[in-house]
Amino acid sequence: MRMIDGRLVVPEFMLRLAANGIWPSERGNLESQNLNPILAPESIRDWAPGERTVYFYPLPQCTIQMLINGGDRFWLSEHAAPLGIDHTLAVAIGDFGLGSDAPLVLDYRRSAESPCVLRLQWGRAGNQWIKVADSFEEFVAITGLASAIPRFREQSGQPER
């Protein structure tokens, strides 16, 4: 079991996706997502209207509060709707691509073992956190991520595609 901050469980399904080369597990290979997105734009529009691509971060290692403590001020800005999440119980897992200030997070407020998935939705009346899925497993089902083509092979020693 992999933990974040000694108390939040990284979803087992995410670990399996990384082991199978579908979810990035290291920083070195992330940029390939800009040229060859993991998810098809059509699947993204179903759960994030107006978005065309998703850029997934490596397996999470820290909470948003830890990012803030390290100097990342975005999470405290009005744009990040800081009152909509608990920074000590949220973990960033991706965003909507180059130049995006709309992250995807695992939200552990309900459970330290089974987080829901939220996305930051921008709006004229202010930005807000929107629930995408009640669990990471549901997120994988909604997005079709489990059937994505493996491309991150650093754990198995195979080259990237």
Q: How many domains does the chain have?
A: 1
Residue 38 lies in a domain: yes
Query: Is 160 a member of any domain?
Result: no
Q: Find all residues with CB under 8 Å of 144, minimum gap 6, and list them.
A: 39, 40, 43
In a domain, 44, yes or no: yes
Residue 157 lies in a domain: no
Domain membership flag for residue 59: yes
What residue numbers bound the domain in which 51 lies?
Answer: 3-147
DSSP state of 54: -
pLDDT tens-digit profile, the chain (161 residues): 899 999 999 999 999 999 998 999 876 667 778 888 899 888 899 999 989 999 999 999 999 999 999 999 999 999 999 999 999 999 999 999 887 889 999 999 999 999 999 999 998 888 999 999 999 999 999 999 988 888 886 544 444 44
Whether residue 141 is contained in a domain is answered as yes
Task: Tell whether 153 is covered by a domain.
Answer: no
Cα dihedral 48, 107, 16, 95 in deg (nearest 10) = 40
